[in-house]
Amino acid sequence: MTSAVTLTRVDYRNPQHATDLVTLLDQYAGDVSGGGRPLSDEVKRELAGRLAERPDAVSLLAYVAGVPVGLINCIEGFSTFLARPLLNIHDVTVHADFRRRGIAGELLRAAERIAVERGCCKLTLEVLSGNDGAKRAYERFGFTPYQLDPALGHAVFMEKKLSDDVAIRDATISPS
């Protein structure tokens, strides 16, 4: 455990918080576990402002001696099966020089406290199947693979990327 860790809830409009958030997330994105590609200049410019517009977003920064070393980004969702909010942990990253010191655990515990404060029924996250270190850490924290019926197996996280020119953004959905 790193005793000198200070956690700070991100004020997305605070320029230093915004810089620290983007710096850590960019390092994570550039790492193989984050996709291996740094954030685009547009994302770097807009991310904090976009998160500030979302009341469902909460981020925490971990500092050691004033240096930003860890980040967790969470977005509130909703469980229709339980009719309660949930908190999805979207990103967890700790700078490579500060790993294995308990910082990720501190960030996860803080996210759990926030979820409880918000009345959430659970925390969720996704992890790459080959990221064994992260999977072990999450399991130690109490996360388990999601399943409803063991005969049907575990949930699989999937995505469908949408480009900027997709006609769906111009589609009109009529109320029913």
Q: Give pLDDT tens digits along the chain (176 positions).
A: 445 999 999 999 999 999 999 999 999 999 988 889 999 999 999 999 999 999 999 999 999 999 999 999 999 999 999 999 999 999 999 999 999 999 999 999 999 999 999 999 999 999 998 999 899 999 999 999 888 888 988 888 888 999 765 554 555 566 66
State residue 1's pLDDT score: 47
User: Which amino acid is residue 145, in one-letter code?
Assistant: P
**Hey, what CATH class is 5-170 in?**
alpha beta
The residue ranges of DSSP E strands in 2-56, in sequence order, are 5-9
State residue 165's pLDDT score: 56
**CB-based contact 41:58 (threshold 8 Å):** no
Measured distance between the N- and C-terminal CA atoms of the chain, rounded to whole angstroms: 54
The residue ranges of DSSP E strands in 31-138, in sequence order, are 57-64, 67-79, 84-94, 123-125
CA distance 67 to 78: 34
